[in-house]
Every structure is written in structure tokens, then in C-alpha cells.
Amino acid sequence: MSKDKFQAPDYYLLDELLTEEHKLIRDSAREWVKREVSPIIEEACQKAEFPKHLLKGLASVGAFGPYIPVEYGGGGLDQISYGLIMQELERGDSGIRSTASVQSSLVMYPIYTYGSEEQRMKYLPKLATGEWMGCFGLTEPDHGSDPGGMTTNIKKQGDHYVLNGAKMWISNSPFADIAVVWAKDEEGIIRGLVVERGMKGFTTPETHNKWSLRASSTGELVFDNVIIPAENIFPNVKGLKGPLGCLNSARYGIAWGAIGAAMDCYDSALRYSKERIQFGRPIAGFQLTQKKLAEMITEITKAQLMVWRLGVLKNENRATPAQISMAKRNSVNTALQIAREARQIHGGMGITGEYPIMRHMMNLESVITYEGTHDIHLLITGMDITGENAFS
């Protein structure tokens, strides 16, 4: 890939809505992505390899547990800081943002929110530094959009539990040290628990042949009579609201993150359109190119405003799950449309690894499906405004 010349679009001067601390955090993540991610990401995607050497750097820019309190190793930051970090990481690559989303919102968040003090102290500090990596097992081969139908189960035997079942499509599972897993107990109640690598009967086969998120490692979680000590069960949550509560946090981060991918596509298309000469003039001078670029910056600006406001509401503990769904759906869909238009502006060059467009576009095809599909989020909005449940 050619040198990273990214310049962030800020058409409505949104920087003025950020504090000095927000800007420092954002700029340090931005610089790190330019220095460490951009030079290697294209090759990592081509080879379908997760660049594991980036983990320490991710920890150093505060990407692991930014809003977890400092006494547990987190950054103690607010929700807008979290969003800005996700935006910058996904500007680099959705797979890198995914790794940070899973660690922060799907592993550290449930341990912090639902875990015992012993569980917090045991896991959170090591997760914050990247010494331990985690993954999140909710989806099963037969239960994706309807996780409430899961069949993975725990049965109490004496002073421990026995875990059986399988999870599919699990980001980071092939190398994770621990897995936060959701399973039904003998009464059919969903419980959360921590499974540690090395426990007998626990395996994590890798999923190959992905055309999307190629720089992110995806796999399964297979549990064959795994013995789980009682102290690994989360004491403070029961039911589907446990995993769905984690998704609120991760979806919020994705709502910011996808805008990063959109910003990268727009920035690349704008620069290319000024440099590329056809019919004796830059293609930026053609009305049809301008229409594409003008619509891109309009949609980016709308999405930026939406997530900023959502961040304010989240800081005040007022953001509803349905508001988060709307933003996740809007940002990802916007980014995907922008990636497709940016690809057109780059002409044939748009399909090559010289530019980040095609990689973002392929990544976003996963992002629009995971953490709740485009249609599921639409139905969440529909239910919220009508009071009618159209899921089942």
C-alpha cells in the first residue's frame, strides 16, 4: 500500500465539541495507526494473518478497557474517548478495531460489570495490558440472531460445573487466553462464565477462507465436558440481558469505528480524484465525481454528529439500547455505501491493495452482520417506536 497520507475530514468543526484530552487520545491513536498499522495491514490481509505483534501497541494507546476504572488497569476514560479510539483503529482496519472491541466491551466489560471482585482482580489488569487476550462466545451454529435459543449448557456436579456445546464465528478465539462464554444452566437460565485455555476438553479451531476481516482471527469454541470451577461463573447476572448488555457497549464502539473506515475511503477518493487526470482535467472536476464526494462528506458529517451525541448520552447513562442500534446500523451502512462509491472513483486502481478501499469494503460486509445484522437493528428501532415485536 502507498504511504498513509490520511487527513481526517471535519466539515462541521466537530473538533470544537471535543475536550483537549479527547483530542490527545484521538491523535495518539491516529499517529499509532499511521506508524504501526498502515504499513503492514495490506500484507496481513493478503496473507490472512492477524498481526499479533500489534497487541502491545494497542494496549499502549489505551485500546483495551479505556473506560474500565484505573484500579483494575483500565484507562478510566469517558465514552467519547472510547469512541474516538475505535474510530481511529477502524480507520486503519476493522479487524484491528474488532480485536479491541472484543477485549474491551465483550471481555473486560462483563468481567467488570457482572464479575466478583476476585474475578475482576484476577483478569482485568492482565487484559488491560494485552498480556492476556479474551474472546466472547455467544453465537452458535444454529443460533445467530436469536441467541436466546442457545443450546450450550452447564450442569452442576458437586463443587463445579460441566460445560458442553459449541460456539461459532468467535473473533480472537484461536489465540485467546480466556473466553467469556454464555450457556444455559439446568433451569434453562443463561449464565456467563470464564473458560481458560488449557482446560481439558476446550478447543478453539480456526475458521479459514474468509474474504472479510482477513487480518482478524476467527474461530470456534468447542466444549466437551469441560470442568468449570464454580468461581468462574459470573455471580451478578442471569438471563439474556447479560450478553445483550455487553453488545450495547460493543455496538456503540462500532458506531464510531465504522465512521473511521468511511473517513479513510472518502479521504483516499478525494485525493485520488484531484490527482487523476482524464479528458485533460482532474476527475474531481466532473459533476458526477463531485456528487459522489459531496454525498460522502454529508453522510460522514451526519454520522459523526450522531455518534458524538450518543457518546454524550452514554456518558450520562442515558443512551438506550435502541439508540445504540440506530447508530450502529447507520454508521456501518453509511461506511459500506461510501466504500462502494470510493471504489468507483478509484476506477481499476480501486480493486488493488495500493489503496485501502476494497479491504474496508470487504471488512464492512462482516461489520454489517456481526453484533446484530442490519435488519435486526432495523427491527429493534421498529419495535422501539411502535411497541410491536416483529422478531418472532
x/- map, 309-348, ligand FAD, by CB under 6 A: ----------------------------------------
213 binds ligand FAD (CB under 6 A): yes
- Out of 170, 176, 178, 319, name the contact with ligand FAD by CB under 6 A: 170
For residues 134 and 245, which CB has a smaller minimum distance to ligand TGC in the complex?
245
The reply to whether 371 belongs to the active site is yes
> Quick check: 192 binds ligand TGC (CB under 6 A)?
no
Establish if 144 lies at the interface with ligand FAD (CB under 6 A): yes
Count of residues binding ligand TGC (CB under 6 A)?
Answer: 26
| Interface residue with ligand TGC, options 119, 139, 152, 333 (CB under 6 A) | 139
Contacts of ligand TGC in 333-392 (CB under 6 A): 370-372, 376, 380, 391
Q: Per-residue string for binding with ligand TGC, 314-333, x by CB under 6 A? A: -------x------------
Question: Contact between 137 and ligand FAD (CB under 6 A)?
Answer: yes
Choosing from 17, 18, 40, 240, the residue that interacts with ligand TGC (CB under 6 A) is 240
| Contact (CB, 8 A) for 257 and 356 | no
Binding site for ligand TGC (CB under 6 A): 98, 101-102, 136, 138-139, 145-148, 171, 239-241, 244-245, 247-248, 250, 321, 370-372, 376, 380, 391
Which residues contact ligand FAD by CB under 6 A? 102, 135-139, 144-145, 169-171, 213, 218, 366, 369-371, 373, 375-376, 379, 391
**Active-site annotation, residues:** 371
